[in-house]
Amino acid sequence: MKRKQLKRIHIVQFITTLAIILLLNYVGSFVFHRFDMTQEKRYSLADETKEILKNLDDVVYVRVYLDGDLPLGFDRLKTSISELLDEFRVYAPRNLQYEFSDPAADPDTRIRNNVFTSLYDAGLQPTNAQVRGKDGTLSQKIVFPGAILSYRETDIPLNLLKNNPGLSGEVNLHHSIQSLEYEFISMIRNLSSETIEKVVFLEGHGELDDYQVGDIMKGLANFYQVDRGAVNGRPGILDQYSAVIIAKPVLPFSEEDKFVIDQYIMNGGKVLWLIDPVQVSMDSLYMGTTVAAYQSINLEDQLFRYGVRLNPNLVQDVQCHVIPVNRGVAGGQADWQLGPWYYYPLISPAGNHLINSSLNMILVEFASVIDTVGEDPAVRKTVLLSTSPYSRQVAVPAQINLRETEKTPLESEYRQSHLPLGILLEGKFQSVFTNRSLPAGLADASGAANGIRETSQSTQMIIIADGDLIRNEVTESPNGPIIAPLGFDRYTSQTFGNREFILNAVNYLCDERGIMQLRGREFRLRLLDKKRIQEEATQWKLINTLVPVLLVMLFGVGVWVVRKRKYSRIKA
């Protein structure tokens, strides 16, 4: 009798459990939630990310070139990418597809090199990695830590590895993983967007030409429609653009052009100013000496009204780049050597803002100090770029000689620290034309018929006292000019963070949906104590080996005891 009752109870328990499971699955098909138990919520997507993924109306195909035999660090990056894309697929199960491939998989060297060339031409940057073979030997492998995103008929490259020489490989890898969501979702948003925002490079004042900013224009073209043009005193001509880039003008601005730019800002326009207050002729310098002189381009009053002043001086910094200098005797054979050039500071981004966080060092050339002026509570000022603690200012006019590379900097002379070279201004600005009449050439212009707007909408602008920060090297060849990557130095083969800084700056100015906030996400880097690992290695190996075995044995004994007691009562 007892056995029949026990059997009936077991059947009821089984049916009840099955019913509960089916009910939970049915309810779960309507109610969706994911639990992230990590402190930093590293596996939780931002609301903006979820919205973009849910609104995809076609398939985004992601091909990641990280597969095969990879070092531990790159394998960790691959795992993080896979986890993120799996999370993306939860919100876009049909419209997001991905695969991993190994570009070095083909044993044929010729085919493999062709694949490498095609990936490089597509915009992916390779890196060398050490791979340990099955026999324990180390070998070099070319790795492309990036992906190509395809949407309809458009392909966009995405480089995923942060490579700051000043940081360890582990920290660089951590920064790369930390920024994955931002990198992927910003590209997906731009690919799938029905409308393309427009940015414009201003012309008409001797600004850098198409070749000199060719690399950054190519980079911006992944996000925006990039135009070039002159305003020619036509009010309203800039209103169609999300941002205006003024890259190293050398000719004075007319009052009409200043009015057009000013009213563009008053109506909420964003501007990236890259201005050289001091002019230095590099052609004369390579002859041995040159003179640095202040050049006015008639923007001083306008920038002063917005809250900054560009000083007529040059910055020298002990933390600097190098240039080739001929150390040979006059009239003898040339002896080119690299010497420290204190006029080319290497800026370590402070990471105090979304724009400059997790960046490589930034190279500036003949930069000047920016002062913040006024105490307008409606304008917030953030220093994005500043010198090292060992720098100084040089007043102009000043004579500059290549022999300065031979001098040892004195600590007593380089005592100024963190001199501002780039500043972000945010808020509501006052027009430079407040209480002034319209420029003569605009008195009858239809766009200026409504007069002057004296206070701006809430907006942003970035001022950098170095026009060369956005300039890439251009080399002449029989096939035409060759544009080098922005930030690449041909003498040391280093690539600085100029390109990413400019991209971040423009993306921040144009960001209306808060996607840039994803760059501010921080994951704690939990590094293992290597000394403790060495000291306690044997102890933890024994614990990890014996404890699981003992637990399984104890569990087996416990089950045997319970079953013996249970069924001995039934027989009784």
**Judgement on whether residues 131 and 96 belong to the same structural domain of the protein:** yes
Residue 11 resides in a domain: no
Residue 342: CB atoms within 10 A of its CB come to 22
pTM confidence score: 0.78
**The token pair that represents 201 in the structure block:** 């490079």
Confidence of residue 199 (pLDDT cuts 50, 70, 90): very high
| Domain limit, last residue, from 510, 540, 561 | 510
Dihedral angle, C-alpha 53, 58, 64, 65, nearest 10 °: -160
Q: List the beta bridge partners of residue 482.
A: 475
Distance between CA atoms of 357 and 520, rounded to whole angstroms? 8
Tens digit of pLDDT for each residue in 244-259?
999 999 999 999 999 9
How many Cβ atoms from other residues are within 10 Å of residue 400's Cβ?
Answer: 20
Residue closest to 346 by CA, chosen among 367, 324, 374: 367
- 36 has a pLDDT exceeding 70: no
Asked which of 510, 536, 551 is the last residue of a domain, the reply is 510
Average pLDDT over residues 71-96: 89
Total structural domains within the chain: 2
- Structure-token match 């380089």, residue found: 414
Residue 390 lies in a domain: yes
Tokens 């919100």, located at residue:
91
* Residues 74 and 204 grouped into a single domain: no
Confidence of residue 571 (pLDDT cuts 50, 70, 90): low
- Pair of tokens at residue 176: 């790369």
Range with the lowest mean pLDDT among 18-27, 269-278, 423-432?
A: 18-27
pLDDT at 132: 66
Give me the helix-helix angle, 2-28 and 530-571, nearest 10°.
Answer: 140
Locus of tokens 């070092």: 71
Q: Residue 166's domain is classified under what CATH number?
A: 3.40.30
- If asked whether residues 143 and 292 sit together in one domain, one would say no
Residue at 173 is within a domain: yes
Tell which of 191, 210, 227 closes a domain: 191
Provide the domain limits for residue 128.
Answer: 47-191
Strand order of the β-sheet with 398-401 is: 278-279, 289-294, 398-401
Is 402 strand, coil or helix? helix
Range of lowest pLDDT (217-221, 450-454, 539-543): 450-454
**Structure token digits, residue 305:** 């009204």
Q: Is 198 exposed, middle or buried (0-12, 13-18, 19+ CB in 10 A)?
A: middle
**For residues 217 and 446, which has the higher predicted lDDT (pLDDT)?**
217
